[in-house]
Amino acid sequence: MGTFMNYRTFRSAIASALMSLSIAACTTPEIVGRYENASCGGVSCNTIVPEADVRAVLAPPAAAQAAVASKEKTCADFPDRAAAECVAEVREESKSLAEFFANLGTPLGPRGGAAVKDARAIPGTLSILVEWTGNAFNPADRLVETIVEIRQENVGIQSWTPAETAYAEINAGTVQGTSQSGGKLTFGMPASAAVPFSIGAEASAQNSQVETLAIAPRYEKLTPFVDIDDVIMIKREGGFGLNLTGVTLLPLVLTPKLQNLAAFDLFSIKKYKDDKGKWLKPEKLEISAQRILAPRGLGDINAKVTLKYKLRHIVSGDETYQERDDRVDYRTVTKTKEITLFPKSKTAVTTFGLFGGPEGTAVFVNRPGYDGVALCFDSYENAERLLEYLRVGAGTQPGRLGSATIGFTGAGPLNPKGVETLSVRPGCLPP
CA 6/CA 256 separation, integer angstroms: 95
More confident: 268 or 185: 268
Helix-then-strand count for the chain, H and E: 6, 29
pLDDT at 168: 46
Q: According to the model, what pLDDT value does residue 151 have? A: 92
| pLDDT tens-digit series, residues 248-259 | 888 888 888 888
pLDDT for the residue 359: 85
What are the two backbone dihedrals, phi and then psi, of residue 33, each rounded to the nearest 5 degrees? -85, 145
Amino acid letter for position 272? Y
Position 375 confidence tier, pLDDT thresholds 50, 70, 90:
very high
User: pLDDT band at residue 206, thresholds of 50, 70 and 90?
Assistant: very low
CB 185 within 8 A of CB 205: yes
- Give Cα separations from 199 to 74, 184, 382 (angstroms): 98, 17, 103
The residue type at 201 = A
Strand arrangement of the beta sheet that strand 225-226 belongs to: 225-226, 231-237, 142-152, 301-316, 327-342
Least confident range of 34-38, 209-213, 283-287, 425-429: 209-213
Cα radius of gyration rounded to whole Å, the chain: 39
- Give whole-number Cα distances, 268 to 106, 178, 375, 386, 430, in Å: 23, 77, 9, 9, 19
Q: What does the pLDDT read at residue 202?
A: 44
Of residues 349 and 372, more confidence is placed in 372
pLDDT of amino acid 394: 82
3-state DSSP call for residue 288? strand
Are 264 and 294 within 8 A, CB to CB?
Answer: yes
Are 121 and 68 in contact by the 8 Å Cβ rule? The answer is yes
Higher pLDDT, 273 or 28: 273
Q: How confident is the model at residue 81 (pLDDT cuts 50, 70, 90)?
A: low
Looking at residue 335, its pLDDT comes to 94
How far apart, in whole angstroms, are the C-alpha atoms of residue 419 and residue 399? 9
Q: Among 316, 319, 330, 323, which Cα is nearest to 241's? A: 323
275: confidence class by pLDDT, cuts 50, 70, 90 = confident
What is the rounded CA–CA span in Å between residue 165 and residue 235?
A: 11
Phi, psi angles (nearest 5°) of residue 403: -90, 0
Q: How far apart are the first and last CA of the chain?
A: 113
Can you tell me the distance from the alpha carbon of 397 to that of 390, in angstroms, rounded to the nearest whole number? 9
Q: What per-residue confidence (pLDDT) applies to 336?
A: 95
Percent of the chain with pLDDT strictly greater than 70? 65
Higher pLDDT: 111 or 77? It is 77
If you write DSSP's letter for every residue of 371-417 in order, what string do you get? --EE-EESSHHHHHHHHHHHHHTSTT-TTEETTEEEESTTS-S--HH
- Looking at residue 49, the DSSP 8-state letter turns out to be -
Name which of 204, 206, 202, 205 is nearest 15 in CA terms: 202
> Beta 199-205 vs 183-189: how paired, if at all?
antiparallel
Taking each helix axis as running N to C, give the angle between helix 97-104 and helix 80-93, from 0 to 180 degrees, rounded to the nearest 10.
140
H-assigned helices in 28-105: 64-67, 80-93, 97-104
Comparing 168-177, 210-219, 308-317, the range with the smallest average pLDDT is: 168-177
Q: How many CB atoms lie within 10 A of CB 321?
A: 20
pTM: 0.60
Average pLDDT over the chain reads 74
Q: Is the pLDDT of residue 62 over 60?
A: no
Whole-number Å distance between alpha carbons of 217 and 281? 69
pLDDT at 223 over 80: no
Phi, psi of 131 (to 5 degrees): -140, 155
pLDDT for res 16: 59
In the predicted model, is pLDDT for residue 386 greater than 90? Answer: yes
Angstrom distance (rounded) from CA 362 to CA 409: 8
Quick one: pLDDT band at residue 34, thresholds 50, 70, 90? low
Q: Domain 43-72+116-174+214-258+298-345 - what CATH class? A: mainly beta
For 299-344, the pLDDT digits (tens) are 888 899 999 999 998 888 777 777 778 888 999 999 999 998 888 7
427: confidence class by pLDDT, cuts 50, 70, 90:
confident
pLDDT per residue over 187-204, tens digit each? 444 444 444 444 444 444
The whole-angstrom separation of Cα 242 and Cα 167 is 6
Helix (H, G, I), strand (E, B) or coil at 120: coil
Dist. CA 372–CA 292, nearest whole Å: 16
Is a pLDDT exceeding 60 seen at residue 110? Answer: no
* Of residues 287, 426, 297, the one with CA closest to residue 351: 426
What is the arithmetic mean of pLDDT over 167-175?
Answer: 41
pLDDT at 179 over 80: no
Q: Is the per-residue pLDDT at 91 higher than 90?
A: no
- 272, 280 contact by CB (below 8 A): yes
Domain edges within the chain: 43-72+116-174+214-258+298-345, 263-294+347-426
